[in-house]
Structure 1
């Protein structure tokens, strides 16, 4: 094989690899909340923490009985919902929690089950 053909083949392989890496990296890119969201039930000291959550979509709060306490230590605002699918109900609208703030439900109110990021 000639020296020129070898360099061309290496160039094609390298270019293909770079194209594949770029496509893979771009498809995985997504804006995140940058920071942590901490959730806790009324009767539990254990915390569930989400770090750098994607800003798109509905996120289920994975606590068996839902969350009663939240601390938004991210760079974005969130909306909490009493349903698992980020929908309003007849009994409750979403609860807005701004960046670096906390919120606590009343002891006998329904827990939060999901959240969305504002502006997503």
Structure 2
């Protein structure tokens, strides 16, 4: 039985296209950092495993409106001062920093992004 060439090509291309779409390196949605009620910075579709910062001022509240979890840090380069720990913020949740713990200045998305945006 012979298979037509267009059908064979289609059968080879479709799985590759679906695989490429599912392996995106960014997470759809936004991460918003607030200081009080003021929006300091909004990052759209942050790149996986890439450090993003809120700026030297820092933020006291973060809304994770993406499909991946993020880790919040106290320094601009996604590190933390000695004796202080990072904060794990799951997808679609928000966090507020206690006044005595200081402000968050950066974050890094972790895990694998969903194949489609959660928004």
**What TM-score does the superposition give when structure 2 sets the normalisation length?**
0.67
Aligned partners of 2:24 and 2:50: how far apart in 1? 12
Offset of 1:116 from its aligned partner? 0.8
Structure 2 residue aligned with 1:34: 28
Pair 1:95-2:102 in alignment: no
Number of residue pairs aligned between Structure 1 and Structure 2: 91
Larger RCO, structure (CA 8 Å, separation 6 or more): 2
Offset of 1:94 from its aligned partner? 0.9
Larger Rg: 1
Q: 1:48 aligns with which of 18, 38, 41?
A: 41
For residues 55-66 of structure 1, the aligned pairs below 5 Å read 55-62=48-55, 64-66=56-58
Does the 8 Å contact 2:32/2:39 carry over to 1?
no
Q: Higher helix proportion, which one?
A: 1
Pair 1:108-2:100 in alignment: yes
Offset of 1:37 from its aligned partner? 0.5
Segments of 5+ residues of structure 2 without an aligned counterpart are 1-22, 113-119
Aligned partners of 1:47 and 1:115: how far apart in 2? 14
Offset of 1:71 from its aligned partner? 0.5
Offset of 1:50 from its aligned partner? 0.8
Segments of 5+ residues of structure 1 without an aligned counterpart are 1-28
Deviates more, 1:30-39 or 1:76-85: 30-39
Does the 8 Å contact 1:30/1:54 carry over to 2?
no
Structure 1 residue aligned with 2:110: 118
